[in-house]
Amino acid sequence: MAQLAKRTAIPVRLQIVGTMSALIIMYAWGRSLIGQPLQLGNQQFTWLGLVYLTGAFLFLLVAPWLTNRLALTPFDFIAMTDHLTMGWLGYLILILVVPIWFQPANSGLTLGVLSSVVGGICMDVPQNVTWGIRVPWTYNSPVIWKKVNWLTGLLLLIASYGMVGIGWVWPTLFPIYQVSAIVGIIVIALGYAHHLAHLT
């Protein structure tokens, strides 16, 4: 029983991040309820946008647990939830600080958000045949798999913020940034995997 409790305990950081995210979402709802919705540049945060925002947050909280229940190989779904909510909090803060980036016209918005989700999953995904950096060096060692995919996920999350920003500020440079970021992350991940595999 003690072991089960330890495995399912919610880390303090996840509690704090989840609470901060919920408070920001509640703030956005409150602004709309009093007739002063958040401004996204020359547009307003619509009710449908608030539903999407809230639904996405709830999905990030539930999806890792559900995936772990269905997965053939159990994994640390609490850690995955932690990383996904950390990335989501970053986007919520950006919505408050630079809301103009989140207009539908932003060419980097969709890819940026998707990259952050992929990154959050990569950081904790167990060895499998469909997800993550799947090369002989990572397949041959669970430790190398964990380290390489954690780094890949972190870099994807960081790059995703840049996708959103550059997609709005310099849309003509976005395709170059997108390709450079993805290729660069893959090269770094493969180089790191090779390095770890050949350590003496």
- Residue ranges per structural domain of the chain: 8-103, 105-200
In this predicted structure, the answer to whether residue 18 has a pLDDT above a threshold of 90 is yes
In this predicted structure, the answer to whether residue 184 has a pLDDT above a threshold of 50 is yes
Per-residue pLDDT reduced to its tens digit, 140-163: 899 999 999 999 999 999 999 999
Per-residue pLDDT reduced to its tens digit, 108-119: 888 999 999 899
The reported pTM is 0.85
Query: Lowest-pLDDT range, 101-110, 168-177, 179-188?
Result: 101-110
Cα 163 from Cα 91, distance rounded (Å): 12
